[in-house]
């Protein structure tokens, strides 16, 4: 289903409310809450609202375990462009999460250690009982996580090559496209699909065309986000501009 909000602020608040509801519900039962998180500009409003809920309404992250979708490779985890730095800056530094419960693919791994790391990432998610909720943005190539065109529907966590369009879109953060890493470690489409609930968010007219393809287009590996049409547990949360090309 598709839900359209007047603007990204109201949409972000609604997504944060859903996350807070899952946290409260599972915490009450004494269970861990397992969240799949995304980076990029899209979820920043959600993280701001979660920080507000922690500060002003006592929402606790003590029982929360997180798995981030992806990280550039290679990437120094302490570099300003790393998704690790992003997550601490926008969320983890401001709430009471236990850093031991935070999982982000490691951009500093030796090439030879990547396969084992990816397998372990999958096994950790499974050991925690699977993802309760995965939040997603969408790239202009139709990627979710960094599952670029050509990604298989049953793909797992792995090293991938970034699309040229994706590297172009990241150029600003790196002071030029030449500095954008060529690769990334990402959860797979199969990993994302195992989540009990998936929320894909998109704001801005820049996303309207890819949202139309993702929601209404033919299901194909050319636009990996179209795989989500197969899921009963997915919600597309859009602002009016991102939804503007939908029929």
Residue 103 to residue 111: CA distance in whole angstroms:
19
The nearest distance, CB 140 to ligand F6R, in angstroms, is 8
Q: Which residue has the tokens 């899952």?
A: 22
3-state secondary structure of 62: coil
Residue 241 to residue 232: CA distance in whole angstroms:
25
**Should residue 224 be labelled a site residue for ligand F6R when binding is judged by CB under 6 A?**
no
- Which among 27-35, 47-55, 118-126, 141-149 is the span making contact with ligand F6R, rule CB under 6 A? 141-149
Residue 68 to residue 87: CA distance in whole angstroms:
9
Residue 148 is a catalytic residue: yes
Q: Which of 137, 142, 188, 224 binds ligand F6R (CB under 6 A)?
A: 137
- CB-based contacts of 165, cutoff 8 Å, min separation 6: 139, 140, 141
Residue 181 to residue 2: CA distance in whole angstroms:
33
Instruction: Residue 79: name the closest of 121, 45, 108, 50 by CA.
Output: 108
The nearest distance, CB 131 to ligand F6R, in angstroms, is 14
DSSP string, 67-116: EESEEEES--TTSTTSHHHHHHHHTGGGS---GGGEE---TT--GGGHHH
Q: Which of 39, 66, 134, 191 binds ligand F6R (CB under 6 A)?
A: 39
The nearest distance, CB 107 to ligand F6R, in angstroms, is 13
Considering the candidates 78, 148, 197, 216, report the single residue annotated as catalytic: 148
Q: Which of 64, 104, 144, 211 binds ligand F6R (CB under 6 A)?
A: 144
**Should residue 41 be labelled a site residue for ligand F6R when binding is judged by CB under 6 A?**
yes
- Which among 54-62, 73-81, 134-142, 225-233 is the span making contact with ligand F6R, rule CB under 6 A? 134-142
Of 65 and 69, CB closest to ligand F6R = 69
**Should residue 38 be labelled a site residue for ligand F6R when binding is judged by CB under 6 A?**
yes
3-state secondary structure of 143: coil
**Should residue 42 be labelled a site residue for ligand F6R when binding is judged by CB under 6 A?**
yes
Residue 221 to residue 24: CA distance in whole angstroms:
37
Restricting to residues 83-122, which ones interact with ligand F6R according to CB under 6 A? none
- Which among 23-31, 55-63, 137-145, 208-216 is the span making contact with ligand F6R, rule CB under 6 A? 137-145
Return the structure tokens found at 159.
């090293």
Return the structure tokens found at 208.
């309207």
Return the structure tokens found at 245.
């090309």
- Which among 18-26, 33-41, 92-100, 106-114 is the span making contact with ligand F6R, rule CB under 6 A? 33-41
The nearest distance, CB 94 to ligand F6R, in angstroms, is 19
* Active site positions, annotated: 148
Residues found near ligand F6R in the complex (CB under 6 A): 38-42, 69-70, 137-139, 143-146
């Amino acid at each position: 289903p598709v839900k359209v909000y007047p603007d990204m602020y109201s949409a972000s608040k609604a997504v944060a409310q859903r996350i807070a509801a899952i946290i409260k519900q599972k915490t009450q039962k004494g269970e861990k809450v397992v969240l799949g998180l995304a980076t990029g500009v899209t979820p920043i409003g959600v993280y701001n609202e979660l920080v507000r809920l922690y500060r002003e309404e006592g929402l606790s992250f003590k029982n929360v375990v997180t798995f981030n979708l992806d990280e550039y490779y290679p990437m120094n985890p302490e570099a300003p462009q790393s998704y690790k730095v992003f997550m601490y800056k926008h969320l983890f530094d401001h709430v009471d999460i236990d850093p031991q419960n935070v999982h982000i693919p490691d951009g500093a791994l030796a090439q030879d250690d990547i396969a084992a790391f990816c397998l372990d990432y999958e096994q950790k998610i499974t050991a925690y009982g699977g993802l309760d909720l995965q939040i997603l943005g969408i790239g202009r190539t139709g990627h979710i996580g960094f599952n670029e065109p050509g990604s298989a529907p049953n793909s797992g966590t792995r090293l991938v090559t970034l699309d040229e369009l994706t590297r172009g879109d990241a150029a600003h953060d790196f002071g030029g496209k030449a500095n954008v890493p060529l690769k990334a470690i990402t959860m797979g489409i199969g990993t994302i699909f195992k989540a009990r609930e998936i929320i894909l968010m998109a704001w801005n007219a820049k996303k309207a065309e890819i949202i139309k393809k993702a929601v209404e287009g033919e299901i194909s590996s050319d636009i990996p986000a179209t795989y989500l049409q197969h899921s009963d547990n997915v919600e597309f949360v859009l602002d009016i501009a991102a939804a503007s090309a939908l029929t």
